[in-house]
Amino acid sequence: MIGSPGFTVEPWGLTASGPDPSVLAQTESLFALSNGHIGWRGNLEEGEPRGMPGCYLNGFFEEYPLSHAEPGYGYPETGELLLNTVNGKLLRLLVDDEPLDVDEGTAQRHERRLDFRDGTLRRELEWTSPSGRTVRVRSARLVSLVERSLAAIEYEVEAVDACRVVVQSELLANEPLPFEHPDPTVAARLARPLVPVAHAADGTRAELVHRTAASGLMMAAGMDHHISAPAGAVVEAEGLPDLARTTIAVQLAAGERLRIVKFVAYCWSPSRGEAALRDEVDGVLSVARRSGWETLLERQRAFLDGFWRTADVEVEGDAELQQAVRFALFHVLQAGVRAEGHAIPGKGFTGPGYDGHAFWETETFVLPVLLATCPEAARDALRWRHSTLDEARRQACLLRQRGAAFPWRTVSGRESSGYWPASTAAFHINGDIADAVLRYVRATGDREFEERFGVELLVETARLWMALGYTGEDGGFHIDGVTGPDEYSAVVDDNLYTNLVAWQNLRGAAEAATKHPSRAEALGVGDAELAEWRRAADAMAVPYDAVREVHAQSRDFTRRERWDFEATSPDDYPLMEHFPYFELYRKQVVKQADLVLAMAQFPDAFSGEEKLRNLAYYEAITARDSSLSAATSAVLAAEVGDLRLASEYAAETALIDLDDIHDSVQDGLHLAALAGVWTAIVAGYAGMRHEPDGLRFAPRLPDGLTRLSFGLRLPGGALRVDVRPDTTTYAWNGDSPLVLRHFRDTAEVRPGEPVTLPTPPLRAPGIPIRQPPGRAPRTLISRNGD
């Protein structure tokens, strides 16, 4: 893992032994804790050494002017950056006046473990100071999945040798970062982004209140403590504009211990004032003190027990894949479970990558996992999109279009991307949001959500497609000048993926408006508009190259010159860092699965033979310079019968962060790729598809796996699917029978009466599927060197 022998393979956690400065920043991302509202990177409690500090509040951002070398009409003028806010993790330890620093003195033992069942990050350290005093430090931290605004740390110091111990528990604002923004103007503004408003410290409690200079957001952070110490301990508190500190000093005899439980609360608002935020923080801390650490821990474990009871994926035959899928599910849950009115960023809350922005992959990759395991979080994420509709309408108006144009990247709902070919032109995000709405309603039957939020989202996104598209001389409905998921092809005509999400969006909007006529009437939808949507959907252009017998990623894409992979050095990947976009845009080269993603999202739009020919053609020109490709390729490889290739791609997506394949984990985890681990297993190996008439499965295990089991939350109960090499068992605990399809057969599963069905013989693909030279998927290599 990340080239370090200190990481272990285990089923329910991630453990790192020994301080390794070369992977410190990566470890901080892997060990991050969050709940969708608060995000804490896995920094050491002492604050040093560190790779990159990180304490985030979902939606709390600063804005800055976006500079353009050549400004143009409609270019975004304001950027947004999710801020590193007040650091509440700090517990600095001095042993006889020497600060604990694992880079100094001697660490006889240092182990940290992220526990997927407890939702905690635990640490054990035995350290000898340069002057020879030895202490044992044990800590555990959690970001509460139950109490939205609360995090807590248990910190215990045991003296091996008699010594004086001082612990400085801090709230620190405007913490210096180890990097600067490339724009000097922006860097100056963000050097101290938090403007002090108020501070207070009394006894064991302290608070800081800050606001942002430009975005006008205000936040409050507070801390309080339970302290257990031998007689004679001294506790002092002090408050400064950017620093609040509670200091605990005590003399420890050999074997004596100092135990501190630190409660930290965070609240913010775009409109509420200082007094209201401080009162909210006080309330959270008071409840936490009354509950105590043990109760918080019990509630955290109970919450996760409930989650894993249904959501757990069991993999027998591959210990690394077992660990990877639970690691992935844990981080996906953390990112969205308490987001409640805010976005799920592309990095979650694990680091500063992508400036904390949310992208289209939230709807396309992350929400399907949450929909199956924690549907309330999927609902909240879609409600956030609905809350930004007015901003999306303004963006559409700015672009002289109708309906709503959702942003390519954003924190608040406002477009924050300065590169229009890959952002403004990537209108498929509208269809991705509509797809997520339709999937949510189909999977949950949530009619109240559909009427209050879904209809409006579907209507406004459908209106944009009608404004962008046109009926051509061939009678087809065409959408020109757009960018699809593949960012190596920009501003193209009839991107197949975009056209298919538009087709589904138009049909779904018409059906939802018909189902909820009063809501449609309130939105101004009449019979004529419904008829236009249906006509456009029926006539949607689907590019196909009859000569090569494959679908074209976009109109005329297959006529371009193919990229010369043979002449491309391994050092020239990723291509966008070594070649101008002009060169990429005019060649047949794919950054990430685009047409392949269309086949995964819309399986009924392609025949089995078409899927095989398309996959073989596009595999040969895909550079896979994106973390999003591997999971999608795994799904299609499994569907066409190439289980060896599917398992290699599943392995790659499982390792994207755990082995830092893209050399970027220091900036945070790839949340969509983590979701892709689940997708590669459930949609790939198990062949699960959500179809209009229900669930369909086509389970097959690749060589090496002896069993796969996973659960799904469905309306009225939970379904457990247990796949063996020759059979699959379906168990259902709902109140009434569940009807599903197993390959081509229909099965009725009664509550408490599992059904076991045989696996039909596998037909191997008749066309070889090969990747460009040097771009084959990375296989799952044992971290133990086996």
Q: What is the pLDDT of residues 22-67, one digit of tens each?
A: 889 999 999 999 999 999 999 999 999 999 999 999 999 999 988 8
List, for residues 679-705, the tens digit of each pLDDT value.
999 999 999 999 888 999 999 999 999
For helices 527-538 and 455-468, what crossing angle results, to 10°?
60
Q: What is the mean pLDDT of residues 15-24?
A: 86
Helices and strands (H and E) in the chain: how many: 20, 34
Q: Does residue 784 surpass a pLDDT of 80?
A: no
pLDDT of residue 670: 97
Residue 417 CA from chain centroid, whole number: 19
DSSP state of 349: T
Spatial CB neighbours of 778, under 8 Å, sequence gap ≥ 6: 648, 651, 652, 655, 659, 661
Spell out the alpha helix ranges (H) of 10-141. 24-30
Q: 629-639 and 608-619 helices cross at what angle (nearest 10)?
A: 140
CB 60 within 8 A of CB 268: yes
Residue type, 701: L
What distance, in Å, lies between the first and last C-alpha atoms of the chain? 13
Maximum alpha-carbon separation in the chain: 89
* Alpha helix ranges (H) inside 469-495: none
Its sign, for the CA torsion 568, 570, 572, 577, is positive
Name 14's Cβ contacts closer than 8 Å, sequence gap at least 6: 7, 8, 30, 31, 113, 114, 116, 323, 327
667 Rama sector, left if φ>0, alpha if ψ -120 to 50, beta otherwise: alpha
Q: Is 9 exposed, middle or buried (0-12, 13-18, 19+ CB in 10 A)?
A: middle
- 582-618 residue pLDDT tens: 999 999 999 998 999 999 999 999 999 999 999 999 9
Q: How confident is the model at residue 3 (pLDDT cuts 50, 70, 90)?
A: low
Torsion angle of C-alpha atoms 468, 473, 475, 480, degrees rounded to 10: -30
Task: Identify which of 147, 143, 183 has the alpha carbon closest to the alpha carbon of residue 33.
Answer: 143
Average pLDDT, the chain: 95
Provide φ and ψ at 711, rounded to 5°: -125, 155
pLDDT band at 423 (very low <50, low <70, confident <90, very high): confident
Q: Contact 430/464 with Cβ under 8 angstroms?
A: yes
Instruction: Please report, for residues 352, 506, 540, 593, the alpha-carbon distance to residue 466 in angstroms, rounded to integers and kept in the order given.
Output: 37, 9, 11, 26
Confidence of residue 782 (pLDDT cuts 50, 70, 90): very low
Q: How confident is the model at residue 779 (pLDDT cuts 50, 70, 90)?
A: low
- Let me know: does 655 contact 623? Beta carbons within 8 Å: no
DSSP 131: T
Q: Kind of pairing, strands 470-471 and 477-478?
A: antiparallel
Distance CA 569, CA 591 (A): 16
- What digits encode the pLDDT tens for the residues 172-181? 999 988 877 7
Nearest to 677 by CA among 620, 627, 612, 715: 627
Q: Measured between alpha carbons, how far is 305 from 614 in angstroms, rounded to an integer?
A: 42
Most confident of 16-25, 178-187, 242-251: 242-251
pTM: 0.96
pLDDT in tens, 356-381: 999 999 999 999 999 999 999 999 99
76 within 8 A of 416, measured Cβ to Cβ: yes
Cα–Cα distances (Å) from 646 to 396, 613, 662, 777, in that order, read: 40, 16, 20, 10
CA distance 506 to 539: 11
Residue 586: Cβ-neighbour burial (10 angstroms; 0-12, 13-18, 19+):
exposed
Instruction: Single out the catalytic residue among 63, 175, 415, 487.
Output: 487
CB contact at 8 A, 96 and 164: yes
Rg (alpha carbons) of the chain, rounded to whole number: 27
Per-residue pLDDT band for 732 (boundaries 50, 70, 90) equals very high
Give the amino acid at 698: A
Residues 6 or more apart from 785 whose CB is under 8 A from it? none
Contact 560, 488 (CB under 8 A): no
Contact 53, 24 (CB under 8 A): no
Residues 13-28: what's their mean pLDDT?
89
Per residue in 77-97, pLDDT (tens digit) is 899 999 999 999 999 999 999
**For 774-785, what is the mean pLDDT?**
60
pLDDT-wise least confident of 310-324, 329-343, 501-515, 760-774: 760-774
pLDDT given for residue 780 in this prediction: 42
Which amino acid, one-letter code, is at 626? S
Per-residue pLDDT, 4: 67
Statement: residue 2 has pLDDT above 70: no
Catalytic residue flag (residue 487)? yes
